[in-house]
Amino acid sequence: MILDKEQLRKNLDEVIWKIEQARIAVSEHHIVQLVGVGKYTEIENIAALYELGQRAFGENQVQQLAQRMEALDDLPLQWHMIGSLQKNKINKLIDLRPFLLHSLDSIELAEELNKKLEAKAQTMSALLQINAAGEETKSGVATEVAYDVYQQIKESCPNINLKGVMTIGAHTEDTALIQKSFEETYAVYDRVQKEGATICSMGMSGDYELAIRCGSNLVRVGSALFKS
């Protein structure tokens, strides 16, 4: 559905206001980036949100990312790939040159990606995805091994610029459990931050304020921005 601009403005204002409240509660100096997730919405709504000032957008499928990057090619947008990356889509993603890949979820994927980046003499910025809630349906490395995996990727994949970590909060109504998954991810981030990492990507429409209070500095918000 194509939304009218006033609705989008209202949605965006509300999300920005809530981000502001949450980040100020952490620290005046805590800056949070908003990535608008367009996967369930029309491309027209993304263009309209751009006109309202939003610059960064994410998609969870390479195919959809490619279509939208191409269709909105004349706008200076920053594109994020946030969904699971299948091995047979790696070359396509490399050619798109996304701003950031959030979903590097195993050593094997990292090595494959690195090999293909090397072949194309390119680099890519990426985050290590952590499955902090330990859910079988989610990809990502276990919290316990995340720091070691991070180091290993840094050492063996010179064409990948690891910039930090990403997680999807626990899939539950239990706020305490969601908070725990964010806190555990932040603990990993806190260690790699001391070695130069700058991005802790946590928080979606249902839990971004909580994520920010747990230290997130990048939230990926879809439905709250594009609701009618």
Ligand X SMILES: *Cc1c(COP(=O)(O)O)cnc(C)c1O
CA–CA separation, 40 vs 18, rounded Å? Answer: 22
For residues 85 and 128, the answer to whether their CB atoms sit within 8 Å is no
Contact with ligand X (CB under 6 A) among 36, 38, 83, 169: 83
- Comparing every residue's Cβ against ligand X, the nearest one is 222
Q: Tokens representing 226?
A: 């594009």
How near is the Cβ of 226 to ligand X at its closest, in Å? 8
Contact with ligand X (CB under 6 A) among 82, 93, 117, 192: 82
Residue 81 lies near ligand X (rule: CB under 6 A): no
Binding map of ligand X across residues 9-38, x = CB under 6 A, - = no contact: ----------------------------x-
C-alpha distances out from residue 203 to 11, 95, 213, 216, Å: 17, 28, 10, 7
Q: Which is nearer to ligand X, 1 or 121 (CB)?
A: 1
Q: Which stretch binds ligand X (CB under 6 A): 18-26, 136-144, 184-192, 198-206?
A: 198-206
Q: Which stretch binds ligand X (CB under 6 A): 26-34, 72-80, 141-149, 199-207?
A: 199-207
**φ, ψ for residue 179 (rounded to 5)?**
-60, -40
**211 closest CA partner among 10, 18, 8:** 18
Gap between the terminal Cα atoms of the chain: 8
**φ, ψ for residue 122 (rounded to 5)?**
-130, 165
Residue 223 lies near ligand X (rule: CB under 6 A): yes
How near is the Cβ of 168 to ligand X at its closest, in Å? 6
How near is the Cβ of 73 to ligand X at its closest, in Å? 23
How near is the Cβ of 194 to ligand X at its closest, in Å? 26
Q: Which is nearer to ligand X, 50 or 118 (CB)?
A: 50
CA–CA separation, 139 vs 60, rounded Å? Answer: 13
CA–CA separation, 172 vs 156, rounded Å? Answer: 36
Residue 46 lies near ligand X (rule: CB under 6 A): no
Residues pairing with 221 in the sheet: 36
Q: Which residues bind ligand X (CB under 6 A)?
A: 37, 39, 60, 82-83, 168, 204-206, 220-224
